[in-house]
Chain A
Amino acid sequence: MSETLSLDGVHTHIGRYHILQGVDFDAPAGKTTMLLGRNGAGKTTTLRTIMGLWRASRGAIRLGDKRLEAQRASDVARAGVAYVPETMAIFSDLSVKENLTLAARLGPMDEVRLNWIFGFFPALRKFWLSRAGSLSGGQKQMLSIARAIVEPRDLLLIDEPTKGLAPTIIDGLIACLKEIKQRDATILLVEQNFRVAREVGDFVRVMDNGRIVHAGEMAALAGDSALQGRLLGLSLDSHQ
């Protein structure tokens, strides 16, 4: 069952840099929350801090009633969080099957769930035994997302899944994200492509300089050009 994610005054330092400077927001259970902002606003740092890959220096991170801020990444993952990094981070020396086998911590992969994944990522079935390193960029992204959903998770953290992908592949990814939403997963999605944000987002949080500067419904932001311009310096209309 999905859980609500909430961050309360989260600070993160990386070396001598103070990246997150008191991040407060929540991502409601079973909904897709978009995390938007200019480059360098702190979006990826937020995801990595939630995941435990960077340690929060202050503040609280909760998933339902579980506290995450002091946990190491493996414990955060075991608390029900899956992470799709911007770099995809697939294991290129392993086959598609082996990548998913590792992601299925609970034991053998559930065939019904696997077929559900193959439904929107048929390339993974086709190249099941191929080295992941030999897949195309789009196929690697499919594998990276499939790895996050091969078992049910309470929260999915997805970092720019459409970055560098062709428009036709992005359409497929949008369909996939909508399909995952139907499974009642809580999703926190960093995305620079506003068309994707508008199509899959229920809520939006906008970051700037390591803080949340806007929180609301995605539809409201999508329909307010002035707000888009003020928050993001961009108009969604220019990203159709």
Chain B
Amino acid sequence: MSDVGAALPKPRIDILPALTPLIVAALVAPFIGSFSTFATLTLASLAMGAMLFTMASGLTLAFGMMDVLNFGHGAFIAVGAFVATVVYALAAPLGQGSLALDLGVFALALVAAAAVCGALGFVYERLLIAPVYGRHLEQILITIGGSIVIEQLLLALFGTEPIALSPPPALQGSLTFGEVGVEKYRLVALGLGLALFVAQLVVLSRTRIGLLIRAGVENREMVEALGYRIDRLFIGVFMAASALAGVGGVLWGLYQNQARAGMGGELLVLVFIVIIIGGLGSVTGCFVGAVLVALISNYAGFLAPKLALVSNILVMVAVLLWRPRGLYPLGAR
């Protein structure tokens, strides 16, 4: 056909948004003063960003693909943290201190939180989400209602007082590199967050199910017209999103040293800021957004504590003024 020779615009690799955390760090560094403080703050931010990504990545996929405004996502974060308290309580008789045992119990807490939250996500999607697909107002109301029910169930089961949750002894304490100190647990959280990021990228780009998810984010109807059951894919994505929230809840609970029924609701605003900054439906955008939010939050907390509370809102406004659909927007639906 004569269109063969038509010039094709070269695929543009949009690297600038990915560089924003580096640019922010470079701009802030001179104001911090000491290199060791800057490095410690930055490493802590990266760990916090990895945890935020873990909690938010499922929501961005579910939001981007299913067009579902799940204001109950935070409840799964809290459930994950409480599952960890149960696992730690059950494992207490085994003792602590051995690296293998500590890591084994930690891994078990993560797997159990993912499994419980994934299963809860299945019930939640079938009961609450499925009847209101395409109806945003109803979604907001029913998912807020669902999160209240889950939160009240947690209060009834575990009581109103926060339950202590500490990283296993093998993951407590700090490592020092010269004058730079970093908590071992934060390094583990950072590694886990990075591993989940890479795993999601691999699944999304190298597997058929990943292609279907990416295609579904863009055009659900056409995925169905190609012969795939989009409703089953939705359930799978929602369960995965809930499982990731649960894993994030374990990481955050151990980071905050407690599990509270209200923790998910408090984190939800931050999680929404991350996915809006990143671009709805974009896993890469979610990762960059999470790191950016964590960096600015920690830098602001150090340099201007009074600004720390509004720093995340300010960064979201700035990003949306620059890129109204987020750092890595996907194709319009």
- Which chain A residues have a beta carbon within 8 Å of chain B's beta carbons? 51, 53, 72-74, 77-78, 83, 85, 89, 91-94, 98, 101-103, 105, 120-123, 126-127, 130-131, 133-136, 138-139, 142, 147, 166, 168-169, 171-173, 175-176
| Given A74-B228, A74-B229: A121 touches B1 (CB 8 Å cut-off) | yes
B2 at the interface (CB under 8 A from A): yes
- Expressed in whole angstroms, the minimum distance between the Cβ of B58 and any Cβ of chain A is 19
B92 at the interface (CB under 8 A from A): no
Contacts between the two chains (Cβ within 8 Å), count: 107
B265-315 CB contacts (< 8 Å) to partner A: none
B225 at the interface (CB under 8 A from A): yes
The DSSP consensus for interface residues of chain A is helix
B208 at the interface (CB under 8 A from A): yes
- Chain A residues near B225: list those with CB within 8 A: 51, 53, 73-74, 77, 83, 85, 89
Interface stretch, picked from B34-42, B77-85, B215-223, is B215-223
Chain B residue nearest to A93 in the complex (CB): B331
Interface stretch, picked from B6-14, B170-178, B187-195, is B6-14
Chain A residue nearest to B217 in the complex (CB): A93
6 contacts across the A-B interface (CB closer than 8 A): A123-B3, A130-B8, A134-B9, A136-B3, A142-B3, A169-B2
User: How long is the Cα–Cα vector from A127 to B11 in the complex, in angstroms?
Assistant: 11
B218 x A93 contact (CB < 8 A): yes
Partner of A171, one of B2, B219, B221: B2
B223-258 CB contacts (< 8 Å) to partner A: 223-230
A123 x B6 contact (CB < 8 A): yes
B226 x A142 contact (CB < 8 A): no
The DSSP consensus for interface residues of chain B is helix
- Chain A residues near B6: list those with CB within 8 A: 123, 136, 138-139
B1-29 CB contacts (< 8 Å) to partner A: 1-4, 6, 8-11
- Expressed in whole angstroms, the minimum distance between the Cβ of A14 and any Cβ of chain B is 14
User: How long is the Cα–Cα vector from A58 to B312 in the complex, in angstroms?
Assistant: 54
A89 x B222 contact (CB < 8 A): yes
User: How long is the Cα–Cα vector from A121 to B222 in the complex, in angstroms?
Assistant: 22
Partner of B222, one of A85, A120, A166, A169: A85
- Chain B residues near A173: list those with CB within 8 A: 1
- Chain B residues near A101: list those with CB within 8 A: 208, 211
| Given A89-B219, A91-B214, A93-B214: A122 touches B1 (CB 8 Å cut-off) | yes
A53 x B331 contact (CB < 8 A): no
- Expressed in whole angstroms, the minimum distance between the Cβ of B65 and any Cβ of chain A is 12
- Chain B residues near A122: list those with CB within 8 A: 1, 4
- Which chain B residues have a beta carbon within 8 Å of chain A's beta carbons? 1-4, 6, 8-11, 208, 211-212, 214-215, 217-219, 221-230, 330-331
- Chain B residues near A142: list those with CB within 8 A: 1, 3
- Chain B residues near A91: list those with CB within 8 A: 214-215, 218-219, 222, 331
A102 x B212 contact (CB < 8 A): yes
User: How long is the Cα–Cα vector from A54 to B330 in the complex, in angstroms?
Assistant: 26
Nearest 6 pairs of A and B residues by beta carbon:
A172-B1, A77-B227, A138-B3, A168-B2, A89-B222, A92-B331
- Expressed in whole angstroms, the minimum distance between the Cβ of A147 and any Cβ of chain B is 8
A103 x B9 contact (CB < 8 A): no
A136 x B8 contact (CB < 8 A): yes
User: How long is the Cα–Cα vector from A89 to B224 in the complex, in angstroms?
Assistant: 12
User: How long is the Cα–Cα vector from A63 to B43 in the complex, in angstroms?
Assistant: 62
- Chain B residues near A98: list those with CB within 8 A: 211
